[in-house]
Structure 1
């Protein structure tokens, strides 16, 4: 997956993307979710408060930086949401053409 944006196309979602990249909690989450994890697992592994984990996971999912997957928990018989990063690498560059954001899988 490759998303490239230039200064001319930066809109609110792009601004949100750049704001998210400045968040310590969002960065901790994105480093943590290399495989599907629940918010509670993210909270534990990223060592952030549970309420922050829920808030940031929602913001990251809204920005399409996390993908939500639902699985059946065989122990409880309930559906459980898990999240995984939608990219492997993100590059933010300032060029002569403006800001270029690339999400690489």
Structure 2
């Protein structure tokens, strides 16, 4: 998890992914190249910090994956021999409410 968070643009992608977005939309929001965005998305999905919520048609008529972050916060405590993580997970209810507010 730390290595995924430590990569450039990962935190920005997670911030932008509070609502479901395509890789293209995330790339535009964070202002990074699409190839870099796809690499960060893959790392964040593998770390369990981002999830693919399904597929939608893009403006060009292509099927594209839609991503959303899986948590709203994370705290890391380094005071012990090993880091201890505390995550604030996003609830499905919060996701639905956010989706309604954005419509």
Same fold (TM over 0.5): yes
Instruction: Tell me the secondary structure at the aligned position of residue 78 of structure 2.
Output: strand
Alignment of 1:8-23 (within 5 A): 17-23=1-7
CA distance in 1, matches of 2:16, 2:56: 22
The alignment's C-alpha RMSD in Å is 1.9
Alignment of 1:27-38 (within 5 A): 27-38=11-22
CA distance in 2, matches of 1:98, 1:63: 18
Aligned with 1:39 (options 23, 30, 34): 23
Gaps of 5+ in 1: 1-16
Instruction: Tell me the secondary structure at the aligned position of residue 45 of structure 2.
Output: helix
Higher relative contact order (CA 8 A, sep 6+): 1
Q: Deviations over 1:24-54 (max 9, x none)?
A: 2111111111100000000000111111001
CA distance in 2, matches of 1:50, 1:74: 15
1:73 aligns to 2:57 (yes or no): yes
Instruction: Tell me the secondary structure at the aligned position of residue 68 of structure 1.
Output: strand
Gaps of 5+ in 2: 90-103
Instruction: Tell me the secondary structure at the aligned position of residue 34 of structure 1.
Output: coil
Structure 1 segments of 4+ aligned residues over 6 angstroms from their partners? none
The change in CA–CA distance for 1:85 and 1:97 in structure 2 (over 3 A counts) is same
Aligned with 1:61 (options 45, 56, 72): 45
* CA positional deviation for 1:79: 3.5
Instruction: Tell me the secondary structure at the aligned position of residue 86 of structure 2.
Output: strand
Q: Normalization by structure 2: what TM-score?
A: 0.75
